Structure formats: C-alpha cells, structure tokens
Amino acid sequence: MIADVSEADHTDLAFEPAAKPVPAEERAKLLADPGFGRVFTDHMAIIEYDERQGWHDARITARHPFTMDPASPVLHYAQEIFEGMKAYRRPDGGAALFRPDANARRFAKSALRLAMPPLPEEMFLDSIRGLVRADREWIPETEDGSLYLRPFMIANGSFLGMRPSTEFIYAVIASSVGAYFKTDAPSVSLWVTREYVRAAPGGTGEAKCGGNYAGSLVAQAEAVRQGCDQVVFLDAIERRWVEELGGMNVFFVFADGSVQTPPLTGTILHGVTRDSLLTLARDMGLVVREEPYAIDQWRADAESGRLTEAFACGTAAVVTPIGRVKGTDGEFTIGGQSIGPTTMRLRSALVDIQRGHAPDPYGWIDRVV
C-alpha cells in the first residue's frame, strides 16, 4: 500500500507501512525500560541522491538492513554525517519535535563540510515528521522517555579513489529512549584526557560527522577504565582550554550566578541544547559568557567555591550535572556532587517546554501529531 504521511506539499513522501510491525504487547514491554539506542521502531525514512536525479524516492518504509557494495566509500573514507533530535509525548497524547529546523540547518552545514549534497530543509523536516507520525506509538510515556530520531547520510557507490562520492543515501531511524546515562548517581564524573584531542582548527570538529565520534572512542574507553562516565577534551593547540565532552557540550555555573560555556570557534559542535540553554539563561536574567575556560582554572574555582555547578548538555544527555573531574594530576569535586539550583532551573525550563508543561515563547515546538 502506498499512502502519503507528509501532510505537507514540499516532498512526495511515500508511505509503505511495515508488513510485520511489532505487536502492541511486545512494544509495551520494550517501552517500559528502553535504555538508550537499543529499541528501534517499525519504520525508517529514506531519500536517495545521485547526480542525475538529485534527491529522489523519498519514502517511509519498514525498517530494514542496507545492502551495499563492499567498495562503498562510506565504508572506507567515512563520508558520513548524522543528527540527533527527539520527539516528545504531549500532555494531550500528541507528539512534538523540538527545534527540528535547527537540526535541519546544522545537517546541511555538516553536509557541505563533508563534501556531500545538502538535503533541502523541507525534505529533512518532512521525513522526520513523517516518521514520527508513522511510529507515534513508539514514543514512551515515561517521565524521561522520548523518541530519539537519528537522521544520517552516507556516501554510497563502488570506487576506492579519494574523491567525494556522487551517490548518497539519507535515512532516518527512530529509537524509543529513556535516560542516556545509566548511572543512578545524582551526577556524572569526567576524565580529562591529556593524550587525545577531539578536534583541531580547520578540522571537522563543528560538523556532526561519525568520524569525530569514532576518534573519541579510545579516550572514552580510557575514561571508563578510570572509573568515569565521560571524557572531556581540551583544545588541540595549548591543551588547556575545555572544549567538549565525548558526545555533549559543557556549561559552568559560578557562585555569582553567572553561566559560562566554551565559544564556538570551529572545533566545538553547535549544540541545539547548548543554544537553547543560552537563550533560557539570558531570559532568566543570568549573566552568560561564551568564553574559553582553562582546565586548571576549573579546578581552582571548584576548590575555592567560585564555581558551584557544572553540567553536560545535549539532545541525548539533556542536562546532566557533573560532580567529579579526574585527570592524571588528581581529581576535584563540584558543589555537593548533585544537581545545583541553577542547573535545576535551566533543566526544568528546557524540559517543561519540550514536554509541553510550559508555554513556548520561542517557537521551538513543532507539533507533529
């Protein structure tokens, strides 16, 4: 059966319903405790690209494995980008996305950096909205549950020459998720890697490409060996300035009530959550700085009490307090190692808008169902 779920004129988004969707009872069991990125829905979105046809064959179809040539360039040269965004259950039972236009824009920017054809914003939005509509039953109703959408684009074809591909597959998969961090602790711990860097000026640090994350895995594994939840990367030049965690941005909160986060200088991901929190903090009247912060200063400020809170933020991580920071030269703790008042205030303001418990004066909510 071919139907249309796009409800918008921009894309002819075909709908081929899954022949064997997961039965409702089984789905309910999976949704009770989904964890992060383990439970997948019945459908996926696909749009294909080649030089002759441009973007074509947009469809929502049953989730299925890809078949690709072993010489497909994504398998060799990692020409790949992705996004992360969430759909939330509304109090009235409907569903909404949070700032999907921001993800669409960032996806297009990442595409250009990786020598890929940008997907038009409306096609991106239609594919996401169409998938949420098709798989709306997969949005958990739990307090911290949501439907995590993972749009991605890969270079396809069959050649080993070092050049940008001319064939691409854009797809979106969806995963019912709960909290990203498995820990029951009220805060997470960080390992400061001195050996590895995530990004260097002129590199791909601000693009959301798989290679950035592949390159961070060995440092993340080191963090886990050190008994920490996440790795924190310093800048590549001076090895001094705090940049980003393995998969999320970082914020600092000071005793004088001000809030600080590293500036976007090309090596840091333009986090949508980061940007939203900056807006919320400014509108709360907090003093906000986008300025570099040195790791030694972080330690000194935590020890003197000048810094009272720190938190990680991202689509997956939401807002997660940081309680302990460990490095080769010892460790320090932050505040009471639990969520502080400013972190709590910012987190609630964000989550309440996302989940429809507070009005959205910013136009961030994209109602889908």
Q: How far is CA 267 from CA 8, 237, 241, 289, 309, in A?
A: 36, 11, 12, 18, 24
Q: Which two tokens stand for residue 66?
A: 């890809």
Q: Closer to ligand COI at the Cβ: 73 or 84?
A: 84
Residue 36 CB, nearest approach to ligand COI (Å): 7
Residue 84 touching ligand COI (CB under 6 A): yes
Residue 45 touching ligand COI (CB under 6 A): no
Pairing of strands 242-245, 365-367: unpaired
Q: Closer to ligand COI at the Cβ: 58 or 96?
A: 96
Residue 84 CB, nearest approach to ligand COI (Å): 2
Residue 130 touching ligand COI (CB under 6 A): no
Residue 72 touching ligand COI (CB under 6 A): no
Q: Closer to ligand COI at the Cβ: 187 or 315?
A: 315
State the virtual CA torsion across 316, 134, 153, 206 in degrees, nearest 10. -30
Q: Closer to ligand COI at the Cβ: 247 or 340?
A: 247
Residue 209 touching ligand COI (CB under 6 A): no
How far apart are the C-alpha atoms of 260 and 287, rounded to whole Å?
Answer: 8
Residue 315 touching ligand COI (CB under 6 A): yes
Q: Which stretch binds ligand COI (CB under 6 A): 24-32, 249-257, 308-316, 319-327?
A: 308-316
Residue 247 touching ligand COI (CB under 6 A): yes
Q: Closer to ligand COI at the Cβ: 110 or 315?
A: 315
Q: Closer to ligand COI at the Cβ: 117 or 247?
A: 247
Residue 154 class from Cβ within 10 Å (0-12 exposed, 13-18 middle, 19+ buried)?
Answer: buried
Give the CA angle between residues 25, 64, 61 to the nearest 5°.
Answer: 80
Residue 179 touching ligand COI (CB under 6 A): no
Residue 153 touching ligand COI (CB under 6 A): no
Residue 314 touching ligand COI (CB under 6 A): yes
Residue 158 CB, nearest approach to ligand COI (Å): 29
Q: Which stretch binds ligand COI (CB under 6 A): 166-174, 232-240, 309-317, 353-361?
A: 309-317
Q: Which two tokens stand for residue 359?
A: 């009005």
Residue number of the CB closest to ligand COI reads: 84
Q: Closer to ligand COI at the Cβ: 243 or 301?
A: 243
Q: Closer to ligand COI at the Cβ: 84 or 100?
A: 84
Residue 340 touching ligand COI (CB under 6 A): no
Q: Which stretch binds ligand COI (CB under 6 A): 166-174, 217-225, 312-320, 332-340?
A: 312-320
Residue 316 touching ligand COI (CB under 6 A): yes
Q: Closer to ligand COI at the Cβ: 43 or 106?
A: 106
Count of residues near ligand COI by CB under 6 A = 5
